[in-house]
C-alpha cells in the first residue's frame, strides 16, 4: 500500500470518449437522471459492466488524500469508471482496517436504511452489521470457481470465508471489515468471472447454519465484552479526573444542545424535552430566567451549569 | 406527521455536534421521513467543523427518545455505543426487560409504536441508560460480571454431531485422495508447490492463513474450505513453499507438521490440490472425518509422550497410519495448547 501512496490515481475513463448508453428497455418510461427504465413489468435485467477496477493499476492519491476531506471512497473508482483521476474529491484506494465509518453511512458516504431492500441489493441496513456478500450467477460447475472468486475478491479486502454453493449457482464471500464488503459489492456487481457470466452481488441474509449462528453469538459476546471494558475504562478515567462532586464534562450532555439552540432561535423552551437530561425541568427553567452572559469558554459554561445543578440537588 | 413541538430541541450527542460551542443549525419542519417510523419530522442540519461537511438528523425525536439514541449517529446518548450492543451489554449485566419491549419489526407496528410514545416510553435498554445514575450503577455491575465470567474461548465449544442424512454420505473416494498422512519432507516432484492444511476451524478466517504463508513468498492461490476444515495453499515458487514447510515443526517426524494460528492448531503436509467435495454436505462430512482424524492424531502424540519407546499403531477410519514414536521435546508448549484444544 505504501508504494501506491506515491503515485497519482489513474484516470480510469477518458471523459471525452465516455458515452452514456441506455440500458436495455425493461419499462415504458426512461428516467434520464437515474438511467433507469420505469413502469411496465418488473423484469430486472443484469447488464454486464463495461468497466472494471484494477486495484494495482488504478489506485493512487487524489485530492481526498491531501486535504482533510470527507474520507469517503469514490463509487466510480470502485466501478472502474472514474474520469477524474487525481483530481477526484474522493479516495481512490481499497478500504483499510483503520477506515471506520459512522453506523449510518457506507464507505461511499451514502446513507443506509433501517431495513434491507427486499432483493437485498442497495446500500443495506444500519440495524445489522453485514460483512457477507451473496454472489449470484456463479458458474459453480467449473472446477476452478473457488480460485477465480478468490482471485477477484482478494484484492478488494481481507476475506474471512468463501462458501461456494454448488448446484445453486451462487457463492457467499465474507470480508473482515464491513467497508471492504461494501466496496466489493459495488466493484463486483455486473462483473464476470469467465467472460460469459454476469455476477449479481447483493447482501447476504443471515446464515441459518447452527454452527454459524453459534459463532456469531460468540463474536457478539466478545464484542460486547470489549465495549464494556472500554466503557469502564472511560468511566474510571472520568471519575479520577473529576473528583467526587463534579459531573463528567466529557459525556454528551443535552445542556449543550439547549445552549446551542438558544443562539439560533429566540424561542424559549418551556419544558425540557430531553429524556436523558441530568438537569430536571425545573432547574432548566430557573437557569433560563437567569440573565445570561455570553460564555467565553465552553468548559466554564459547563461548570457553571453543574454548580447550579448541585444546588438544586 | 411526527408530534414534534416547535420548541423541541434535537437529541444529538456531543460527538456529532463537534467542538464549536457557538453552533448554527438549520431547521426544516417536516423535511425528511424518519428512517425508523417513516413519519415526517423536523430536520436539523449543521456543520460540526467550520466549512466542513454537514450532518443532519435522520430519525425523529420520538424515535430517538424511545431508544435513548442520538438523532444523527444513532449511538446511545449515555454510553456512546450502538444500541444493539448496549442492549446486549445490559443483558449481560442481568437487567430485566431489555428484551421485553423490543424493536418493532414491520412498518405498521413501527408507526404504531411511534404514535403511542406514552405507552412505549422506551425500547430495549433505553430506560436504563436514560437515567444517568442507573447507567453508572449498571456499568459497575458489568465490571463485576466481567470479572466473574469465565472467558469462553472458541475452543471450548463442542461440535455437534452431524445429522444422519449427512453422516450417511460416502466420501471415502474424496478422503482417500487427501494427503492426511503426507509429510513435510520436500517431495520429489519439483512441480508440487502446494501445501495441504487441515484442522481449519470455523472461527479462523482465511486471511489469517494467507497472511501466515505470505511471509514466505507470493501465493498463487488459497483454497480454504471451512466446511471441510481443509485448505490448499499454492505458492508461485517452489523455494518459498519449501521455506514455509521448513519453518513449521513436526511433532512426529515423517508426519504432518503442526503450527498455531490464533491458538488453533493446524496440520500441514505437502499435497496436490484435490477436490474437497462438490456439495456442502460432502464438505461437511469430510470436515467431520478430519475432526475425528485430528482427535486421533492428538491422542496419538499424547500417548507418545507418555510411552516414548512403545510403538503405537493408529487404526484410523480414514487410513491406517503408522506413527513414528519419537517426539522432539521442544514441542512441549505446542503440546500444551494441543491438549487443551477440543476438536
Spatial distance between the Cα atoms of A62 and A89, rounded to a whole number of angstroms: 7
Encode burial over A192-219: b for 16+ CB neighbours within 10 A, e otherwise: bbeeebbbbbbbbeebeeebbebbeebe
With beta carbons under 8 A apart, name residues in chain B contacting A303. Answer: none
**Taking Cα atoms as reference points, which of B295, B320, B300 lies closest to residue B311?**
B300
Distance from CA of A270 to the nearest CA of B (A): 8
With beta carbons under 8 A apart, name residues in chain B contacting A102. Answer: 73
With beta carbons under 8 A apart, name residues in chain A contacting B78. Answer: 251-252, 276
Residue A38 touches chain B, beta carbons under 8 Å:
no
Total domain count, chain A: 3
Spatial distance between the Cα atoms of A203 and B58, rounded to a whole number of angstroms: 23
Domain ranges of chain B: 14-147, 167-280
Q: Between A3 and B297, name the one with better pLDDT.
A: B297
Spatial distance between the Cα atoms of A133 and A72, rounded to a whole number of angstroms: 21
With beta carbons under 8 A apart, name residues in chain A contacting B226. Answer: 161, 163
**One domain, residues A55 and A75:** yes
**One domain, residues A222 and A299:** yes
3-state secondary structure string, chain A? CHHHHCCECCCCCCCCCCCCCCCCCCCCEEECCCCEEECCCCCCCCCCCCCCCCHHHHCEECHHHHCCCCCCECHHHHHCCCCCHHHCCCEECCCCCCCCCCCCECCCCCECECCCCCCCCCCCECCCCCCEEEEECCCCCCCCHHHHHHHHHHHHCCEEEEEEECCCCEEEEEECCHHHHHHHHHHHCCCCCCCCCCCEEEECCCCCCHHHHHHHHHHHHHHHHHHHHHHHHHHHHHHHHHCCCCCCCCCCCHHHHHHHHHHHCCCCCCCCCCCCCCCCHHHHHHHHHCCCCCCCCHHHHHHHHHHHHHHHC
For residue A212, what is the nearest residue in chain B, using CA coordinates?
B202
With beta carbons under 8 A apart, name residues in chain B contacting A298. Answer: 21
Is the pLDDT at A239 greater than 60? The verdict is: yes
**One domain, residues A128 and A83:** no
Radius of gyration of chain B (CA): 29
Query: For residue A252, is it within any domain?
Result: yes
Which residue shows C-alpha cell 460468540? A218
Interchain CB distance below 8 Å, B9 and A269: yes
User: With a CB-CB cutoff of 8 Å, which residues 158-187 of chain B face chain A?
Assistant: 159-160
Query: Domain ends where: A66, A93, A120?
Result: A93
Phi, psi of B44, rounded to the nearest 5 degrees: -110, 140
Residue B17 touches chain A, beta carbons under 8 Å:
yes
pLDDT band, residue A155 (cuts 50/70/90): very high
Spatial distance between the Cα atoms of B314 and B320, rounded to a whole number of angstroms: 6
Interface size A-B, in CB pairs within 8 Å, comes to 168
Architecture of domain B167-280: 2-Layer Sandwich (3.30)
Q: Which of B9, B77, B222 sits opposite A273 (nearest CB)?
A: B9
Interchain CB distance below 8 Å, A276 and B68: yes
The gap from C-alpha A200 to its chain's centroid, in whole angstroms, comes to 21
Query: For residue A189, is it within any domain?
Result: yes
Query: What's A164's domain CATH number?
Result: 3.30.70.330
Question: From the candidates A96, A170, A224, A242, which should be mutated to test the interface with B, based on the most B CB atoms within 10 A?
Answer: A224
- Report the side by side order of strands in the sheet with B257-261: B219-225, B230-235, B194-198, B264-270, B257-261
Interchain CB distance below 8 Å, B9 and A210: no
Q: Which of A228, A258, A259 sits opposite B146 (nearest CB)?
A: A228
Residue A225 touches chain B, beta carbons under 8 Å:
yes
**One domain, residues A153 and A115:** yes
pLDDT band, residue B3 (cuts 50/70/90): low
Interchain CB distance below 8 Å, A166 and B279: yes
Q: What is the DSSP code (8-state) at residue B219?
A: E
Query: For residue A243, is it within any domain?
Result: yes
Phi, psi of A79, rounded to the nearest 5 degrees: -85, -5
**One domain, residues A182 and A275:** no
Q: Which domain holds residue A258?
A: 210-312
* Helix, coil or strand: residue B16: helix
On whether the CB atoms of residues B225 and B251 are closer than 8 A, the answer is no
Instruction: Read off the pLDDT of residues B165-180 as tens digits, 9 standing for 90 and up.
Output: 777 888 888 888 888 8
Q: Which of A251, A264, A268 sits opposite B24 (nearest CB)?
A: A264
Residue A5 touches chain B, beta carbons under 8 Å:
no
Q: How many CA atoms lie within 13 A of B272 on its CB side?
A: 10
Distance from CA of B52 to the nearest CA of A (A): 8
The confidence score (pLDDT) of residue B336 equals 56
Is the pLDDT at B5 greater than 70? The verdict is: no
**One domain, residues A12 and A57:** yes
Question: From the candidates A56, A231, A247, which should be mutated to test the interface with B, based on the most B CB atoms within 10 A?
Answer: A231
Q: Between B314 and A20, name the one with better pLDDT.
A: A20
pLDDT band, residue B339 (cuts 50/70/90): low
pLDDT band, residue B260 (cuts 50/70/90): confident
Query: For residue A256, is it within any domain?
Result: yes
The confidence score (pLDDT) of residue A171 equals 94
Query: For residue A105, is it within any domain?
Result: no
**One domain, residues A76 and A129:** no
On whether the CB atoms of residues A19 and A11 are closer than 8 A, the answer is no
pLDDT band, residue A40 (cuts 50/70/90): confident
Spatial distance between the Cα atoms of B72 and A241, rounded to a whole number of angstroms: 29
Distance from CA of A187 to the nearest CA of B (A): 20
Distance from CA of B156 to the nearest CA of A (A): 11
Interchain CB distance below 8 Å, B23 and A263: yes
Angle CA(B62)–CA(B125)–CA(A109) in degrees, nearest 5? 60
Q: What is the DSSP code (8-state) at residue B159?
A: P
Instruction: Read off the pLDDT of residues B142-173 as tens digits, 9 standing for 90 and up.
Output: 777 665 554 444 444 455 567 777 778 888 88
Which residue shows C-alpha cell 436504511? A113
The confidence score (pLDDT) of residue A21 equals 76
In this prediction, the answer to ipTM > 0.90 reads: no
Q: Between A19 and B338, name the one with better pLDDT.
A: A19
Query: Domain ends where: A148, A171, A206?
Result: A206
**One domain, residues A125 and A69:** no
Question: From the candidates A230, A260, A270, which should be mutated to test the interface with B, based on the most B CB atoms within 10 A?
Answer: A260
Over range B239-260, report the average pLDDT: 82
Q: Between A175 and A272, name the one with better pLDDT.
A: A175
Q: Which of A113, A147, A260 sits opposite B223 (nearest CB)?
A: A147
Interchain CB distance below 8 Å, B25 and A261: yes
Spatial distance between the Cα atoms of A31 and B99, rounded to a whole number of angstroms: 45
**One domain, residues A170 and A217:** no
Amino acid at each position: 500500500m505504501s508504494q501506491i501512496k506515491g503515485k497519482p490515481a489513474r484516470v480510469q475513463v477518458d471523459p471525452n470518449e465516455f458515452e452514456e448508453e441506455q440500458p436495455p428497455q425493461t419499462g415504458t418510461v426512461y428516467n434520464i437522471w437515474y438511467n433507469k427504465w420505469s413502469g411496465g413489468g418488473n423484469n430486472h435485467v443484469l447488464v454486464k459492466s463495461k468497466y472494471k477496477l484494477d486495484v494495482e493499476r488504478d489506485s493512487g492519491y487524489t485530492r481526498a488524500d491531501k486535504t482533510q476531506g470527507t474520507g469517503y471512497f469514490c463509487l466510480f473508482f470502485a466501478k472502474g469508471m472514474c474520469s477524474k483521476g487525481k483530481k477526484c474529491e474522493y479516495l481512490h484506494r481499497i478500504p483499510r482496517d483503520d477506515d471506520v465509518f459512522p453506523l449510518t453511512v457506507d464507505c461511499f458516504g451514502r446513507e443506509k436504511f433501517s431495513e434491507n431492500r427486499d432483493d437485498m441489493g442497495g446500500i443495506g441496513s444500519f440495524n445489522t452489521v453485514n460483512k457477507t456478500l451473496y454472489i449470484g450467477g456463479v458458474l459453480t460447475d467449473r472446477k476452478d470457481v473457488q480460485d477465480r472468486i478468490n482471485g477477484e475478491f482478494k484484492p478488494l479486502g481481507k476475506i474471512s470465508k468463501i462458501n461456494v454453493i454448488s448446484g445453486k449457482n451462487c457463492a457467499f464471500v465474507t470480508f473482515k471489515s464491513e467497508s471492504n464488503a461494501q466496496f466489493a459489492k459495488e466493484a463486483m456487481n455486473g462483473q464476470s468471472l469467465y467472460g460469459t457470466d454476469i455476477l449479481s452481488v447483493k447482501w447476504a441474509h443471515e446464515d441459518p447454519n447452527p454452527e454459524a449462528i453459534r459463532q456469531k453469538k460468540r463474536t457478539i459476546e466478545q464484542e460486547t465484552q470489549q465495549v464494556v471494558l472500554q466503557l469502564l475504562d472511560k468511566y474510571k478515567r472520568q471519575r479520577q479526573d473529576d473528583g467526587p462532586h463534579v459531573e463528567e464534562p466529557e459525556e454528551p450532555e443535552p445542556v449543550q444542545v439547549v445552549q446551542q439552540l438558544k443562539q439560533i432561535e429566540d424561542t424559549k423552551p418551556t419544558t425540557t424535552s430531553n429524556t436523558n437530561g441530568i438537569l430536571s425541568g425545573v432547574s432548566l427553567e430557573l437557569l433560563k430566567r437567569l440573565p445570561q452572559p455570553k460564555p467565553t469558554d465552553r468548559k466554564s459554561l459547563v461548570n457553571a451549569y453543574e454548580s447550579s445543578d448541585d444546588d438544586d440537588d | 406527521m411526527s408530534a414534534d413541538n416547535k420548541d423541541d430541541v434535537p437529541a444529538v450527542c456531543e460527538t456529532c455536534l463537534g467542538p464549536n460551542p457557538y453552533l448554527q443549525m438549520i431547521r426544516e419542519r417536516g423535511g425528511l421521513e424518519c428512517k425508523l417510523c417513516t413519519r415526517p419530522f423536523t430536520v436539523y442540519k449543521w456543520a460540526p467543523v467550520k466549512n466542513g461537511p454537514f450532518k443532519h438528523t435522520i430519525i425523529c425525536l420520538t424515535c430517538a427518545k424511545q431508544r435513548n439514541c442520538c438523532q444523527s449517529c444513532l449511538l446511545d446518548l449515555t454510553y456512546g455505543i450502538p444500541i444493539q450492543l448496549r442492549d446486549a451489554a445490559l443483558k449481560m449485566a442481568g437487567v430485566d426487560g431489555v428484551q421485553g419491549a423490543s424493536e418493532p419489526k414491520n412498518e405498521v407496528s413501527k408507526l404504531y409504536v411511534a404514535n403511542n410514545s406514552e405507552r412505549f416510553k422506551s425500547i430495549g435498554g433505553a430506560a436504563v441508560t436514560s437515567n444517568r445514575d442507573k447507567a453508572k450503577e449498571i456499568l459497575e455491575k458489568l465490571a463485576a460480571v466481567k470479572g466473574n465470567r469465565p472467558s469462553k474461548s472458541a475452543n471450548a465449544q463442542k461440535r455437534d454431531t452431524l445429522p444422519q442424512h449427512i453422516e450417511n454420505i460416502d466420501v471415502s473416494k474424496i478422503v482417500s485422495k487427501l494427503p492426511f498422512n503426507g509429510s513435510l519432507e520436500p517431495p520429489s516432484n519439483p512441480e508440487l508447490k502446494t501445501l495441504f492444511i487441515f484442522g481449519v476451524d470455523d472461527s479462523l478466517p482465511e486471511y489469517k492463513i494467507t497472511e501466515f504463508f505470505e511471509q514466505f513468498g507470493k501465493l498463487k492461490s488459497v483454497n480454504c474450505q471451512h466446511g471441510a476444515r481443509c485448505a490448499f495453499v499454492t505458492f508461485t515458487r517452489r523455494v518459498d513453499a519449501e521455506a514455509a514447510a521448513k519453518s513449521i515443526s513436526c511433532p512426529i517426524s515423517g508426519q504432518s507438521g503442526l503450527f498455531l494460528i490464533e491458538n488453533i492448531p493446524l496440520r500441514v503436509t505437502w499435497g496436490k490440490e484435490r477436490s474437497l467435495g462438490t456439495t456442502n454436505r460432502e464438505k461437511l462430512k469430510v470436515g467431520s472425518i478430519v475432526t475425528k482424524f485430528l482427535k486421533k492424531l492428538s491422542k496419538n502424540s499424547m500417548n507418545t509422550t507418555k510411552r516414548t519407546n512403545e510403538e503405537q499403531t493408529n487404526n484410523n477410519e480414514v487410513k491406517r497410519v503408522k506413527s513414528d514414536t519419537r517426539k522432539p521435546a521442544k514441542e512441549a508448549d505446542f503440546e500444551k495448547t494441543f491438549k487443551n484444544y477440543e476438536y
